Structure 1
Amino acid sequence: MRAGSKSTQIADDLRKQIHEGKYQPGDRLPRVAELMATYDTRSRATLDRALQKLVAEGLLTVVHGSGIYVRRRQVVRRDLLAGVRMEYEAARRGAEVQAGLFEAMTGTDAKVDVTYEHAFAPEHIARLLDVDVECRLLVRTFRYVVEGNPHQVARSYLPAETAQRIGLSSADDERPGVGTIAHLIAGGIAVDRAELAFESRVPTAAEAADLAIPGGTSVFEHWRTLYRGCEPVEVSTAIVPGDRVAYKISVNFTEDNR
């Protein structure tokens, strides 16, 4: 092992073995006593510092009462523009996307939990919706789990009057394959434009707990605002751990664009 503190040497060697595939995602590391013997250290604190460094990097996870495991990562690949187009085209035809929209967009077998609540508009949402902060909103929260792991928390913000007009009053009104665009169009609100924005940032403590995000892992937050002409009618946001998603954006050039 190369020069440096003992804990750094241990962390470097374990990291190398993980990257080289000696330890696969889901594998349990040898027990503490075995690791201490392997790395010729009598200091449990030294080994703990090395292991915690790799936990903070997102390479290891601690399962209390069981051991330390190489962390599994389910990376979902998404084309966000294609997803918006898919949702809009299905809504315009009055068709339902097979299974759920998220599943159709990502090719995953996701489980989703939906909750509804009414709340006043947070300041940043009020700005995007061009409403007063005292405006009552319907906030729909969607928690997605992929292969048993929390993957994404998404929220949709609709003025309460709009939600009532389009028939969204409780989570029972949600139907797989029918997205917000379809609800709006069916309710007579002809959305014709969407704006997307992206941000990478450090998660809050609540977000880290909600999504089981290891220390040192950032999140992607992407925003979508739906418009009817110049009027914003709905804002949605989704938060995903940065090591569980890969985004792409496809742009088609036609003869008219050249």
Structure 2
Amino acid sequence: MFQYEDLVHQFRTRILSGEWQIGEKIPTIKTLQAEYGIRSLNTVRQAQQVLVTEGLLETRHGLGAFVVSLDPVSDPVTELTSIRDHMNAVLSALSAGWTHTLVIDNNDPDIPFAITVIQEALQRYLGIEDEGDSPRPGEHADTARELLRRVNSVQSDLSKQFSAKRNPAI
């Protein structure tokens, strides 16, 4: 194991344990070098960069590194490849005239983002730039419009659930 990988593990543990809180500036590189007995500042920087890529830290030029999340992001290439593969399956099913089911788990915390991505993709497919635009006709336009209607409905239901959770008296 490389020295920076050990630091990544140590830093991640400090973040996930709550020792370093969201919004908090972590110790400076020099402080971390001294604390961990590391001579090279590049080793500490490399460890920080891994955590930036994971979405746990954010570095701000001249200010330092700050904790921005407690939820590490999976490998972006793997995630995007998976999304691409799923979208290719949907497009193939549409082209072949097959029925395809889209299941949306309302309890998944990533759903609001996923819904936005799906809405934007469908709106682009239909040629809808603004709310007043009419969807362009196309081979699968009816399917895309119906899917967009259903996704918008799910988003509306989620908004109501979120609002009710925040304001239980409503």
TM-score under structure 1 length normalisation: 0.33
TM-score under structure 2 length normalisation: 0.46
Query: Which structure has the highest strand share of the two?
Result: 1
Query: Which structure has the highest helix share of the two?
Result: 2
